[in-house]
Amino acid sequence: MNKEKKLSEIRNFKGVVIISMVLVAVVSSAIALYYDQILSVSFFFSPFTSGTMFAPMIIGLFWKKASRKGAIAAIICSATSALLHVTGVITLFDRVAGPALIGTIVIVIVSLLYPDQTGER
């Protein structure tokens, strides 16, 4: 964000880096204590990686009427549904297909309601 400045000139840069590294270490430690196999960890995050990005990547690539607002709304809605499913608040019919279906429906509806202006793509 500050391309013309040196790292020593940016205020609080060192503090932000230290805080973010501590947060990453704490979250990683909590995940490592909870799961004992790498397959469990990868299975836990599959709704976020596969289910959330399916609609913007596939529908956005092959459907000419897909809009930026539709893709952003699809990511938000499918990530929210994946988070709620993983934490047990709601139960979807499938871990990955549920968020992918929700994202697909949202990208179609929002893209039809809010199309991109010509020349924006």
Q: What is the pTM of this model?
A: 0.64
Token readout for 97 is 């297909």
Q: What percent of the chain has pLDDT over 70?
A: 88
Residue 35 has pLDDT above 60, yes or no: yes
pLDDT at 1: 56
27-55: b (≥16 Cβ within 10 Å) or e = eeeeeeeeeeeeeeeeeeeebbeebbbbb
CB atoms under 10 Å from CB of 102, counted, come to 22
| Predicted pLDDT of residue 112 | 93
| pLDDT at residue 3 greater than cutoff 90 | no
Contact between 45 and 83 (Cβ < 8 Å): no
Amino acid letter for position 105: I
**pLDDT recorded at residue 14:** 75
